[in-house]
Amino acid sequence: MHSLAERIQKQDQRALARAISMVENDHPEKLELLSDIASIKKKAYYVGITGSPGAGKSSLVDRLVTHLREQNLTVAVIAVDPTSPFSGGALLGDRVRMHKHFTDPGVFIRSMATRGSLGGLARSTKDAIRVCDAYGFDCVLVETVGVGQSELDIMKVVDSTAVVLTPNSGDVLQIFKAGIMEIADLFIINKADLSGVQKLRGQLKDFLHIIDPQGWKAPIVETISTENKGIEKLWKKCTEHRDYLFDTEEGQKKRQEQLVFEVYELMREELWKDVQDFIESDDTKTQALSEMADPYKLASKWLSEWKNVGVKKDD
């Protein structure tokens, strides 16, 4: 077993942080480490918090962490932040808002930069979740960057997806266009002390009626994170969805689909690196890229060449 995996199993937080850095930076030992990590998975509950910027996601996560700690549950928070244009790292806005949890050994907070990923998550988010699970946290909260209409990736890596909306923001129209309605397991109307709550609730109910989901029907919870209101009910609805996932055939199917997606995603990443190396290690090909006139012809030609190289390697 990889030495970092052994240390994570013993709940060494420095090893935890280092392992996440390894998966973020695509370290050569990444797959070996993650394979060993998978063998010590401890079945934490993964909750995704998504929604548009300004909806109060970070404040909501902060309050939820406090509520979970009051129940003696350990929590890992993976906050996906925009990428800094200067350093390429995360801007760390979410960690600043959760400063009061920094000294709590039962809470681990990690910011991850999107690094150009357009799905609201960093490419290595799913791996970081698995590492936190192996460490032994009871719950892993994942907050997306909040990029509006590109938040669908979250459903592929968590058990429960909560979409945060605010009254009079027009968010509900945006998420309906984006397809996020279909992936939400829970709707949170945050800043519920503002006017327009009843209208927003009515719109959500109308949309849910149009979609007519089979099985689990996403509940609507009102919260005021700045006043710590509605957090207990929010967690209650989350745990109801968790129980649904483990007690029904539909829930088991969803978890199986996530595992299948993860296999394909890992293969896609490795194939992409192989193809990229095949092109960029050849000066003739890199020169052709700079003079490219027909990308379709080049792609077809090089893909055929790459496949032939793979066949020869197997022989």
- Give pLDDT, residue 313: 60
Residue 251 dihedral angles phi and psi, to the nearest 5°: -65, -40
Q: Do both 53 and 121 map to the same domain?
A: yes
- Give pLDDT, residue 72: 96
- Give pLDDT, residue 208: 80
Q: Do both 158 and 97 map to the same domain?
A: yes
Q: Do both 103 and 1 map to the same domain?
A: no
Q: Quick check: is 255 in a domain? A: no
Q: Do both 185 and 130 map to the same domain?
A: yes
Q: Look at strands 186-189 and 45-51 and give their pairing.
A: unpaired
Q: Quick check: is 253 in a domain? A: no
**C-alpha 312 chain-centroid distance:** 38
- Give pLDDT, residue 118: 42
Q: Which of 200, 196, 197 is nearest to 176 (CA)?
A: 200
- Give pLDDT, residue 82: 58
8 A C-beta contact, residue 163 and residue 178: no
Domain that holds residue 276: 261-314
- Give pLDDT, residue 171: 57
Q: Do both 304 and 265 map to the same domain?
A: yes
Tokens of 91: 């801007």
- The number of domains in the chain is 3
Please report, for the domain that includes residue 119, its CATH number.
Answer: 3.40.50.300
Q: Quick check: is 227 in a domain? A: yes
Q: Do both 106 and 204 map to the same domain?
A: yes
- Give pLDDT, residue 89: 43
Phi-psi region of 73 (alpha: psi -120 to 50; beta: other; left: phi over 0): beta
- Give pLDDT, residue 121: 52
**pLDDT means per 10 residues in the chain (315 residues)?**
91 94 88 88 88 85 95 94 46 58 90 56 80 95 69 80 84 60 87 91 84 82 94 96 88 82 83 89 87 83 86 57
Q: Do both 79 and 178 map to the same domain?
A: yes
8 A C-beta contact, residue 50 and residue 144: yes
- Give pLDDT, residue 151: 56
- DSSP-derived letter for residue 104 is -
